[in-house]
Structure 1
């Protein structure tokens, strides 16, 4: 019984879930209502990364998730929606940037895109829709929402969860009154959600960051990065976290929006080789090394800022996916991918719960 009580944390209580298991949110179409609802229905917190989603779609998403689960779920947004210079390009600059991409567009048979009215949705518009949608949990990265937004969340009973990559960021979130804080180590796949210093200067490991943050904030801490099984969650709990967040392990499941080729790569020897790069979106992110990261990584100084870089890269994605290509698109992955074992969220959740409640099984499973 004492082992079971170890997972009955304040974070679990605040989130209204059964287990200290959080499914990390994925943007760019990698999240699905099916995945989030499956995790929530099995006692964890399912999440949907909505930073590329329109305000109207956010309302529809929340409605769909509520039709699939009666348990808490999270919608995730990016507080900082652009880097300096990332709102527009002059016609001349647009042509200069396109010239960098043109060989890849030609290779995949993609026409030159027209200059858009906008390169991404603005956070202010998205969060207004999120507040209207009133999800049980609002998780966010790349900053701290305004005091008025956090006050609206409290008023509407929305639990707030913010991401931090340093002590200073965690303290900023805590001072603002955010309900829970995700300590995100550099082992994690996807984007580094740093907002007070350059992401390259905010590369603490998950377990170092977990201890440092847990000792300095009032809010419960969720540990993220390099956690792929129950023993990883238990280690995080031992170090002061009150829940563990898994991204890559859930991304590899068939319920996610990852392509079959992406999932196959996560279970292949390629998973042993990840890299942090700005080559895909303009912001630092960890994924499997491939041709794009190798060829465009050294040229990041020539590339436009976020989100414009990601907009140009995204135009290649449909053609690459149709052709079954993985060399020219992002393949987000954390450093623990070589230990992935489960291909469905149902199997993964069952294994996590078993390993949390029977630590001996986790210790005996081997590498």
Structure 2
């Protein structure tokens, strides 16, 4: 059976389909629970949450499902504080803030405090799966989670990064192809050297690591799932396909942008957060693109644009919002999570039957 392998047995899920942990409000308790209830693995994108917010959301998810689900965390980053870059960015952002009546934020110091507290919540709540993006946590953190019987999953955009995940003790690794929407998970090389397509990355990673490989990037339906499994993955991770579901917490403008866009309208840009991410090109990304190399790194740039993006959504100005999307937006549909998974499973079974 296509849906019975080491990964599905370890995670206790019926289908090898994982919903990506998209931070920023998309992964509502309803979305996470619906995916898990339908036989996949729902994932809470907790990267921007405080420990208290995360704890409250996990409690809500548990009220909606008794199935396994995961929580995704961001590895903390500490960019060099450069007043010159911050001043330049604020100068470029001033027109947007004035039009939206948004105040200039203060850039504070970054620490591991929130991350450490998030880990404590995951352990206390006995979450089944903890996944990480933007790097690999310490071996001590990984071992502590594993001692609590929590499955740990890393993210890689190259074979080398997949190997680093395995050597660090990860149980599984998501290999993120260049087609993927949202932030690039690259951490061991310049992102320009890690823009490898899913079809190329998955089999090469599967050949070089012994832990289960999870394919991500451009996968939207049963054909993509079956292709990934054929290439050596034991599961897929899908983000964009879930953004447009009924249970999603994505802004309506974001959903509409995906539903009405085409594969040639996405671009990888760092102007929104300081970290390369794939989304639908708009006025904001076009206007700041010429200055991309002079902008502050993540998470500083993310702090500088958060107010603009939030207020733009409130004032219905999608041209100034981040509109994360993978390269297969034509395949997106407005449907329930249950219908999405049911259609994928039916499509896979149909293909397998023809064989």
> Smaller-chain TM-score range?
over 0.9
Determine if contact 1:275/1:288 at 8 Å carries over to the other structure: yes
Q: Which residue of 2 aligns with 1:327?
A: 319
**In 2: Cα distance, 1:232 partner to 1:300 partner:** 33
Determine if contact 2:47/2:73 at 8 Å carries over to the other structure: yes
**In 2: Cα distance, 1:249 partner to 1:299 partner:** 31
- The answer to whether structure 1 residue 213 and structure 2 residue 213 are counterparts is no
Query: Shift of residue 32 of structure 1?
Result: 1.0
1:44-77 CA distances to partner (integer Å, 9 max, x unpaired)? 0001110100112222222121111100101001
Q: Choose which of 14, 20, 37 in structure 2 pairs with 1:18.
A: 14
**In 2: Cα distance, 1:268 partner to 1:120 partner:** 39
Shifted more, 92-101 versus 215-224: the winner is 92-101
Q: Which residue of 1 aligns with 2:191?
A: 199
Q: Choose which of 234, 237, 243 in structure 2 pairs with 1:251.
A: 243
Q: How do 1:199-278 residues align onto structure 2 when only pairs under 5 Å count?
A: 199-269=191-261, 272-278=264-270
SS of structure 2 residue aligned to 1:319: helix
Q: Choose which of 98, 108, 120 in structure 2 pairs with 1:106.
A: 98
Q: How do 1:41-120 residues align onto structure 2 when only pairs under 5 Å count?
A: 41-79=37-75, 81-85=76-80, 88=81, 94-116=86-108
SS of structure 1 residue aligned to 2:27: coil
1:56-99 CA distances to partner (integer Å, 9 max, x unpaired)? 222222212111110010100112x22521xx565x76544322
Determine if contact 2:206/2:212 at 8 Å carries over to the other structure: yes
**In 2: Cα distance, 1:279 partner to 1:335 partner:** 19
Change (3 A) 1:153 1:72: same
Q: Choose which of 128, 136, 161 in structure 2 pairs with 1:144.
A: 136
Query: Shift of residue 126 of structure 1?
Result: 2.5
1:6-25 CA distances to partner (integer Å, 9 max, x unpaired)? 22111111111000111111
Determine if contact 1:253/1:343 at 8 Å carries over to the other structure: yes
Determine if contact 2:86/2:296 at 8 Å carries over to the other structure: no
Change (3 A) 1:164 1:288: same
**In 2: Cα distance, 1:329 partner to 1:119 partner:** 27
Q: Choose which of 158, 168, 178 in structure 2 pairs with 1:176.
A: 168
Determine if contact 2:17/2:237 at 8 Å carries over to the other structure: yes
Q: Which residue of 2 aligns with 1:126?
A: 118
Query: Shift of residue 41 of structure 1?
Result: 0.4
- The answer to whether structure 1 residue 311 and structure 2 residue 303 are counterparts is yes
1:215-262 CA distances to partner (integer Å, 9 max, x unpaired)? 111111111001000010000000100111111000111211211121
**In 1: Cα distance, 2:93 partner to 2:113 partner:** 23
Determine if contact 2:79/2:299 at 8 Å carries over to the other structure: no
SS of structure 2 residue aligned to 1:297: helix
Change (3 A) 1:249 1:308: same
Provide the aligned length of Structure 1 versus Structure 2: 355
Shifted more, 22-31 versus 263-272: the winner is 263-272
Change (3 A) 1:82 1:177: closer
**In 1: Cα distance, 2:263 partner to 2:82 partner:** 36
TM-score, normalization by structure 2: 0.94
CA RMSD of aligned residues (A): 2.1
- The answer to whether structure 1 residue 351 and structure 2 residue 343 are counterparts is yes
Change (3 A) 1:347 1:120: farther
Determine if contact 2:18/2:235 at 8 Å carries over to the other structure: yes
Query: Shift of residue 298 of structure 1?
Result: 1.6
Consecutive unaligned residues of structure 1, counting only runs of 5 or more, are: none
**In 2: Cα distance, 1:247 partner to 1:115 partner:** 30
TM-score, normalization by structure 1: 0.91
